[in-house]
């Protein structure tokens, strides 16, 4: 096995225990049954070697191996769920999952961005909503932050993505994003005031990083303070919000407020749609 990354190990273990804690909470409060809590509400499956990047048990049958793992996890939950302290449930649950997670914790080069595979760096997008461009975020700059050290790169990549969308799909005029980052002023600063005017709180907690991304810090480690706050209050530290506005308004804002990002794209020789 390739060398393991201690930061990644720390993240996966801390995050998995928090996820098991939350799954237990949902079951005890009558919000979910066991399979809904594990498959739909927490992000455990995607941290295992079984995840192929496409099929997920929230919507599809992923095979017998995951079913066997769920059975073993169910035994752990049945044994410990009524205990006042969830420590044993979390530890034994992680022990069931860890053989399928360990090899996903291999060391990777930091800031090694393949611009052919990741032309927009930390940003990706799709048109699943039909009439809007939906945008998504994952920090490729670890251990640096896209909202601090790499903010100009982050803004520049967003400009490229929005301009390329205008070339590819000129009929799409609106952009939207559902994420906990919309509750953070540094992220809000990338967008015009209209971005927050009709913000909608995410109604359902699902496994996606729009809710769960707040438990990973800029280094890629588990965000222990946010995890502790979640356990104490029972509420996510940052509300996941769906925000949207006109693409052209976002571009005008970025090009006015982030001249260094514009200069960065010019230095790259960026041409929209090329």
| Whether 100 and 143 share a structural domain | no
How far is C-alpha 58 from the chain's CA centre?
16
101 is in which domain, residue-wise?
6-105
Mean pLDDT, residues 117-134 taken together: 90
For residue 14, give the H/E element and its range. helix 6-28
Is residue 116 predicted with pLDDT exceeding 70? no
Counting Cβ atoms within 10 Å, is residue 196 exposed (0-12), middle (13-18) or buried (19+)?
A: middle
Residue 212, in any domain of the structure: no
- Per-residue pLDDT tens digits for 222-249: 999 999 999 999 999 999 999 999 999 9
| Whether 133 and 100 share a structural domain | no
How many structural domains compose the chain?
Answer: 2
| Whether 58 and 180 share a structural domain | no
| Whether 149 and 91 share a structural domain | no
Q: Where are the beta strands (DSSP E) in the chain?
A: 123-126, 132-137, 174-179, 200-201, 241-246
Give the whole-angstrom CA distance, residue 35 versus residue 101: 19
Give the whole-angstrom CA distance, residue 227 versus residue 165: 36
Among candidate residues 28, 49, 3, 4, the one with its CA nearest the CA of residue 234: 28
| Whether 163 and 257 share a structural domain | yes
| Whether 193 and 96 share a structural domain | no
Among candidate residues 171, 170, 174, 162, the one with its CA nearest the CA of residue 198: 174
| Whether 169 and 247 share a structural domain | yes
Residue with tokens 């803004």: 155
Domain end call among 79, 105, 131 = 105
Mean pLDDT, residues 86-109 taken together: 92
Tokens of 80: 């410990």
Is residue 108 predicted with pLDDT exceeding 90? no
What's the residue count for the chain?
A: 274
| 37-to-58, 193, 250 alpha-carbon distances in Å | 10, 36, 37
Residue 185, in any domain of the structure: yes
- Report CA Rg, the chain: 20
Residue 216, in any domain of the structure: no
How many Å from the N-terminal Cα to the C-terminal Cα in the chain? 40
Within the chain, what is the greatest distance between any pair of CA atoms? 61
- Residue 164 backbone phi and psi in degrees, to 5: -65, -35
| Whether 79 and 186 share a structural domain | no
| Whether 171 and 44 share a structural domain | no
- Per-residue pLDDT tens digits for 147-179: 999 999 999 999 999 999 999 999 999 999 999
- CB-CB neighbours of 39 under 10 Å: 20
Residue 169, in any domain of the structure: yes
Mean pLDDT, residues 42-53 taken together: 96
Taking all residues of the chain, what is their mean pLDDT, rounded to a whole number? 94
Is residue 1 predicted with pLDDT exceeding 60? no
Q: Tell me what pLDDT residue 117 has.
A: 77
pLDDT band for position 109 (cuts 50, 70, 90):
low
DSSP 128: T
| Whether 156 and 248 share a structural domain | yes
Domain end call among 74, 105, 136 = 105
pLDDT band for position 110 (cuts 50, 70, 90):
low
């Amino acid at each position: 096995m390739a060398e393991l990354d201690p930061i990644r190990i720390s993240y996966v273990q801390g995050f998995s225990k928090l996820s098991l804690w939350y799954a237990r909470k949902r079951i005890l409060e009558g919000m979910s049954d066991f399979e809904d809590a594990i498959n739909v509400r927490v992000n455990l499956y995607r941290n295992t070697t079984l995840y192929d990047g496409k099929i997920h048990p929230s919507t599809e049958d992923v095979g017998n191996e995951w079913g066997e793992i769920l059975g073993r996890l169910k035994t752990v939950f049945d044994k410990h769920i009524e205990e006042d302290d969830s420590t044993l449930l979390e530890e034994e649950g992680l022990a069931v999952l860890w053989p399928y997670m360990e090899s996903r914790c291999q060391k990777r080069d930091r800031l090694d961005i393949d611009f052919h595979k990741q032309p927009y760096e930390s940003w990706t997008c799709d048109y699943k909503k039909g009439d809007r461009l939906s945008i998504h975020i994952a920090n490729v700059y670890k251990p640096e932050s896209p909202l601090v050290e790499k903010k100009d790169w982050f803004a520049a990549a967003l400009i490229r993505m929005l301009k390329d969308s205008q070339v590819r799909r000129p009929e799409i005029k609106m952009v939207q994003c559902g994420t906990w980052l919309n509750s953070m002023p540094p992220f809000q600063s990338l967008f015009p005031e209209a971005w927050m005017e009709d913000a909608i709180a995410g109604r359902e907690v699902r496994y996606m990083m729009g809710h769960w991304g707040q438990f990973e810090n800029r280094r890629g480690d588990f965000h222990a303070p946010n995890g502790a706050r979640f356990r104490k209050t029972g509420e996510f530290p940052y509300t996941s919000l769906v925000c949207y506005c006109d693409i052209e308004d976002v571009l005008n804002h970025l090009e006015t407020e982030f001249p260094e990002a514009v200069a960065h794209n010019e230095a790259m020789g960026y041409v929209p749609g090329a």
